A = this chain, B = another copy of it.
Amino acid sequence: MSARLRFQGEKSTYMERPATIVDVAKRAGVAISSASSALNGQPGVSEATRTRVREAADELGFVPSLRGRSLSTKRAYAVGLIVSRDPDVFEEDPFFGGFLAGIETVLRARGYALVLQMSTTAEENSERYRRMALDRRVDGVFLNEITIDDPRIPLLHELQLPAVAITEAHVDWRPAVVHNNTAVIRELVDYLYGLGHRRFGHVSGPREFLHSCQRRDAWLDALGAHGITESQVTDGDFTYASGAAAASKLLSRSDRPTAVFCANDLTAAGFQARALDLGFSVPEDISIAGYDGTALSTYVRPALTTITTSPHSLGATAASLLLDRIDGRIVDKVELEQSRLVVRDSTVPAPLQR
């Protein structure tokens, strides 16, 4: 329990006041600067003094005020994450849970906190980055869901705000944690091809996102390696509804695909539901694969074949790189290959070609 000091609050009632370093110094009978050095493990303090200061601090339940420290060190001891999407979409996106947890693990260990903000439009998004930087609320930010010609990149340069990019594709920003998924998408294609599939489809994420493009390109490249140059690609937006719409579109064609790769699990779930509604059998008529490896993929029937990612280690690595960058350490990029193909019930050998 912390013994706190008393001071005269409103209405002349005595209230507790958190101990400051002045109190600690006084109690230990040393100068403020000595108390500070002792507490922060700085050299140039005798063991005797250090012990005495520590004891005094313990007795007073002293916890340094982040505010004083912030002003003095010009650090906020916080980093920011801005999620740029509709709350409803966010709600449905199970990626963030693990990602946040990964970030948190690292931040906590290093005494940092996470400031989370949300925005809907791109302009609003930029405004929030700008604001966070200008009022010095955070020491750095996560640069997530990067788009083509992302306006945040020049902005971050202008603001001189440390940031870590989280991406699946090449990006002109350092530090960066890049999640390399070409191998596993290749594995998915090999697997489907091996099952006899020859007509393929893809429901992509929004074109403006680098990771949408990366997943699509990796898919197309892997198909190309098998000599398949045709793949019906439909644009989606990572939502359930867009998966359903894509199913209506792709499955109405006479040369409809027998295997479809969706850019995320949510889209795959929507695709599958619509396919079933349209009277197709899944997986007998159409094989479906998702991406992300979220819990949702196990809830729907048939359970979805998918590619599991590791949002947790993505978040943890990103946070670690960001803090290193803030500390002035030189950091480049880290490649993560945590993906794994998980085959479940939504994919089977190709139906006989009709």
Give chain A's interface residues, CB within 8 Å of chain B. 2, 15-16, 18, 61, 63-68, 70-71, 74, 76, 78, 87-88, 90-94, 96-98, 100-101, 104, 108, 113-118, 131, 134-137, 160, 240, 269-270, 273, 276, 294-296, 299-301, 312
Contact = CB atoms under 8 A, between A and B. Distances in A.
Given A18-B136, A134-B2, A273-B299, A104 B91 contact: no
B295 A66 contact: no
Contacts of A67: 67, 70-71, 74, 76, 136
A152 to B, nearest CB: 16
Most buried by B among A67, A96, A101, A117: A67
B300 A16 contact: no
Nearest to A118: B104
12 contacts: A18-B134, A63-B134, A66-B135, A66-B137, A87-B100, A88-B98, A91-B295, A100-B118, A113-B117, A113-B137, A269-B299, A273-B301
Contacts of A100: 87, 90, 116, 118
A294 B97 contact: no
A295 B117 contact: no
> How many monomers of this protein are in the complex?
2
A241 B181 CA distance: 30
Given A91-B295, A301-B273, A66 B136 contact: yes
Contact of A276 (B65, B87, B301): B301
Contacts of A88: 97-98, 295
Given A97-B92, A135-B66, A136-B18, A87 B117 contact: no
Nearest to A132: B113
Given A92-B94, A296-B299, 4 more contacts: A67-B71, A67-B74, A70-B71, A240-B295
A197 to B, nearest CB: 25
Nearest to A298: B240
A210 B185 CA distance: 45
B101 A118 contact: yes
Which 6 residue pairs across A and B have the least CB separation, nearest first? A91-B97, A87-B101, A63-B134, A90-B97, A67-B70, A67-B71
A16 B157 CA distance: 12
A84 to B, nearest CB: 12
Contacts of A96: 91
Contacts of A2: 134
A68 B296 CA distance: 46
A299 B240 contact: yes
A10 to B, nearest CB: 10
A99 to B, nearest CB: 9
Contacts of A66: 76, 135-137
Contacts of A137: 66, 78, 113
